[in-house]
Amino acid sequence: MAATPLHRHAKVVRMVVSTYQAASGAGAAAMEELLQQTHEVLDGKQPTCKIFKQQYAFNLFSHNAAVLSNGYNEEEMKLVKETRKIWNDMDVKVTATCIRVPVMRAHAESVNLQFEKPLDEDTARRILEGAAGVTVIDDRESNHFPTPLDVSNKDDVAVGRIRQDLSQDGNQGLDIFVCGDQIRKGAALNAIQIAEKLL
């Protein structure tokens, strides 16, 4: 949602993604397990691990999807393959590290982008402000940027921390931070929006 408008403008050639994924991505029972474990830890008890095989409360861990022979887990490879499919671009280079964090709902992503054409951060911000389904939250002054809570139960994907990547030359790199409610935009709402388009 956030990278595509930028891709259309300057063509993404490489993307490095690190995720901060909520319990909700693993379903209602996983959200329940995080709640129960948090109660147990606060009460000084051993946390009950059913869905996840390690403590989730006040902890984080590499995504629970199966790890493949190349060292990537299935969630990470999905991110690589779906980006290529959605952009219809088999050449775009993507690497991802998917991590579960003890957040109840809505995923976050730290995304480093490398473009074919130059793209300065002000142009990128204008493009994102004009993009359907995207809300820009990028207030450096008051240190207000997207959080999972900001987007929980919201339809839009929130993007902020939009800045020129210091580690890339020639205005061809950007860093952004994105949050989205994957129950809505990732699943239910998306299905409705696709159905509406079809109708």
Interface with its own copies by CB under 8 A: which residues? 14-16, 18, 20, 34-35, 38-39, 42, 53-55, 58-62, 64, 66-67, 70-73, 80, 93-95, 97, 99, 101-104, 108, 110, 112, 121, 140-141, 143, 145, 147-149, 160-168, 173, 175, 177
Least Å distance between CB 5 and its own copies? 19
Least Å distance between CB 196 and its own copies? 31
Whichever of 101 and 193 has its CB closer to its own copies, that residue is 101
Whichever of 149 and 187 has its CB closer to its own copies, that residue is 149
d(CA 87, CA 145): 27
Whichever of 110 and 190 has its CB closer to its own copies, that residue is 110
Least Å distance between CB 38 and its own copies? 6
In sequence order, what are the residues at sequence separation of 6 or more whose Cβ sits closer than 8 angstroms to the Cβ of residue 153?
A: 105, 181, 184
Least Å distance between CB 94 and its own copies? 6
d(CA 195, CA 89): 25
Whichever of 84 and 193 has its CB closer to its own copies, that residue is 84
d(CA 19, CA 177): 10
DSSP 30-90: HHHHHHHHHHHHHTTPPPP-SSSSS--TT--EE-SSPB-TTS-BHHHHHHHHHHHHHTT-T
Going by the DSSP 8-state scheme, the letter that residue 186 receives in this structure is I
